[in-house]
Amino acid sequence: MAPSRDMDNRTFHQDPTSLYNLPNDLPEHSRLDEQAKHVSTIMDHRILHAPLNPNKPNTRILDIGTGTGYVADTLALQNRSAQVYGLDLSPVPPRSGRTPNVHFVRGNISNQPPSKWTPLPDAETKTEFSDSSSDSGASNPDYTDSVGAGGPLFPRDEETFDLLFSRFLVAGISDWDAFIEKEYHLLKRGGWAEIHDLDATVYNAADEPISNRADWQVLPERAAEKAGLDFQCAWRAAERMRQAGFVDVVQKEYALPLGGEGERRPDMKAAGEFFAPTFAEVREMVIRRYVDAPERAEGMVRRMRETMMAPEAGRHYKLVVTYGRKP
């Protein structure tokens, strides 16, 4: 099926049940990969915060909303005895050098059980097979059997994974209570869920919010919330996890720099210089999607850019990490 296009010739996923409205094309994949490198910088090159024991036999990790598969690839590389799966609404672009223990599946976490996800054959996501000598793809009988035979990759719709990871799903989940309850059911006992998401309020160097009353933040967020999205999902994840039954819930925040002014470390300066314009572009898409009157949207975009791109040191979003264990 041909990907759906809008007038700017960008392409989008084709699941009519999902509100997710960012593109799934090459420019978006480049943005996601570049973003992933800068996120890694601000987290001191660490992705996982939960104390997963990857050496337990049959460890299975799922990266929900994997995008280009960057996190799935990294976790697969760091945990070679685990099987790592990346799930997305859209096909995952192929990459060379992927390890044999990483695989991709297509599906919607919100309304499809794992038995309905479609495995993407390795030949579509790996442009070359690396390391065929040791833990080859064939070492995961589930994967090769089901891809070959067309059977479900995950026959059980519960207690299947040891770790569920998700990052930047704020625009993709329209019922966070249900999402976190589903995570609880999908995890084996003792398994961990870890959520990384954004508080996309602009804070100043004194850590005071400076955009939370701006029309360009408030109005599109309210409209998106009416449609079911939750722009406070990053902070609310801890309470939702506890309500769903998770224990040992931990929350930690990172400052995500907007602009390179005042950053002393070159990698942090590069991160800030990347994040300010690219998040302004994402915000612009959100404003244009949720504000109907074009002139009004124009004014909001201008004011938003003035704040996001202002040459003042210390402006930042917050990136919030929350993890918890299923007892």
240 is a contact residue toward ligand SAM (CB under 6 A): no
Return the range that interacts with ligand SAM (CB under 6 A); candidates 62-70, 138-146, 151-159, 226-234. Answer: 62-70
238 is a contact residue toward ligand SAM (CB under 6 A): no
104 is a contact residue toward ligand SAM (CB under 6 A): no
Give the integer Cα–Cα distance in Å for 279 and 22.
Answer: 12
CB of 63 to ligand SAM, least distance (A): 7
**Which of residues 109, 186, 229, 308 is near ligand SAM by CB under 6 A?**
109
Give the integer Cα–Cα distance in Å for 299 and 297.
Answer: 6
Give the integer Cα–Cα distance in Å for 121 and 136.
Answer: 14
Q: List binders of ligand SAM among 152-211 (CB under 6 A).
A: 167-169, 172
Q: Is 280 helix (H, G, I), strand (E, B) or coil?
A: helix
Give the integer Cα–Cα distance in Å for 56 and 50.
Answer: 15
70 is a contact residue toward ligand SAM (CB under 6 A): yes
Residues 83, 89, 91, 93, CA torsion sign = negative
* Tokens describing residue 93: 């672009």
324: exposed, middle or buried (C-beta count within 10 Å: 0-12, 13-18, 19+)? Answer: buried
Return the range that interacts with ligand SAM (CB under 6 A); candidates 49-57, 102-110, 128-136, 250-258. Answer: 102-110
87 is a contact residue toward ligand SAM (CB under 6 A): yes
32 is a contact residue toward ligand SAM (CB under 6 A): yes
Task: Identify the CA nearest to 69 among candidates 38, 108, 33.
Answer: 33
**Which of residues 36, 193, 258, 276 is near ligand SAM by CB under 6 A?**
36
* Tokens describing residue 160: 């299947």
CB-wise, 19 or 214, nearer to ligand SAM? 19
Residue with the shortest CB distance to ligand SAM: 172
20 is a contact residue toward ligand SAM (CB under 6 A): yes
CB-wise, 107 or 257, nearer to ligand SAM? 107
Bridge pairing between strands 187-203 and 161-167: parallel
CB-wise, 172 or 220, nearer to ligand SAM? 172
* Tokens describing residue 203: 């804070």
Number of residues that bind ligand SAM (CB under 6 A): 22
User: How many Cβ atoms sit within 10 Å of the Cβ of residue 284?
Assistant: 17
**Which of residues 23, 67, 114, 259 is near ligand SAM by CB under 6 A?**
67
Return the range that interacts with ligand SAM (CB under 6 A); candidates 67-75, 226-234, 250-258, 268-276. Answer: 67-75
CB of 33 to ligand SAM, least distance (A): 8
CB of 145 to ligand SAM, least distance (A): 24
Dihedrals φ, ψ of 120, to 5°? -95, 125
**Which of residues 47, 62, 88, 286 is near ligand SAM by CB under 6 A?**
88
Q: What is the DSSP letter of 2?
A: P
**Which of residues 110, 125, 140, 322 is near ligand SAM by CB under 6 A?**
110
Residues 91, 96, 97, 100, CA torsion sign = positive
- Burial call 241-259: b when 16+ CB within 10 Å, e when fewer: beebebeebebeebbbbbb
Question: Are 279 and 171 within 8 A, CB to CB?
Answer: no
Task: Identify the CA nearest to 119 among candidates 141, 151, 96, 93.
Answer: 151
48 is a contact residue toward ligand SAM (CB under 6 A): no
CB of 185 to ligand SAM, least distance (A): 16
Give the integer Cα–Cα distance in Å for 303 and 231.
Answer: 20
Q: Which residues in this chain contact ligand SAM in the complex, by CB under 6 A? A: 13, 18, 20, 22, 32, 36, 65-67, 70-71, 87-90, 108-110, 167-169, 172
